[in-house]
């Protein structure tokens, strides 16, 4: 699948699994506008380079999975609008900065992030301590040709 509808009307859709679609490179800016009921979104292992700002419309989203999106270079600040987000997984992408708005997710209990071997992920100072509900966090970074786990468990 290499194209998606512009703005599908899917208000009652609860789970959207679009993982392992290497041909999928572009998601329309308005794609998520009418998916307010979405609880789980898996975009892992796709060719997307940009997550549209309409992701902020997913007000009931609990799980966001962006693993192995090797071309994904930025997480929009609109992710801060996802107040019900509980799980955020971003592994092996080109994202080099976690927006401070991630700290606005009051229900975030699991944050798993890693950078690819050629990109170092920067996390704003105090972001993790701002998320009081966080129970599990793993931040994996490459160092001297080895992978290091920086934070394993909180609490």
- pLDDT tens for 20-49 read 988 899 999 999 999 999 999 999 999 999
Domains and CATH numbers, the chain: 15-149 (3.80.10.10)
- Tell me the sheet residues that pair with 146: 143
Q: pTM of the predicted model, to two decimals?
A: 0.84
Question: What residue ranges in 80-155 does DSSP mark as E strands?
Answer: 87-93, 110-115, 136-143, 146-149
Lowest mean pLDDT among 30-39, 52-61, 74-83, 111-120: 111-120
Q: Answer positive or negative: Cα dihedral of 84, 89, 90, 96.
A: positive
What is the C-alpha to C-alpha distance for residues 127 and 120, in angstroms, rounded to an integer? 17
- Tell me the sheet residues that pair with 137: 111
């Amino acid at each position: 699948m290499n194209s998606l509808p512009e703005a599908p009307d899917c208000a009652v859709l609860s789970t959207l699994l679009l993982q392992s679609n290497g041909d999928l490179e572009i998601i329309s800016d308005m794609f998520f506008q009418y998916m307010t009921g979405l609880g789980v979104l898996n975009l892992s292992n796709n060719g997307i380079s940009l997550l549209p700002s309409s992701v902020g419309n997913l007000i009931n989203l609990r799980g966001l999975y962006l693993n192995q999106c090797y071309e994904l270079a930025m997480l929009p600040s609109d992710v801060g609008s996802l107040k019900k987000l509980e799980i955020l997984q971003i592994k092996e992408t080109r994202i080099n900065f976690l927006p401070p708005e991630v700290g606005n997710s009051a229900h975030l209990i699991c944050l798993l992030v890693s950078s690819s071997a050629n990109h170092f992920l920067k996390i704003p100072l105090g972001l993790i301590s701002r998320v009081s509900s966080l129970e599990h966090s793993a931040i994996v970074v490459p160092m001297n040709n080895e992978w290091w786990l920086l934070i394993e468990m909180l609490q």
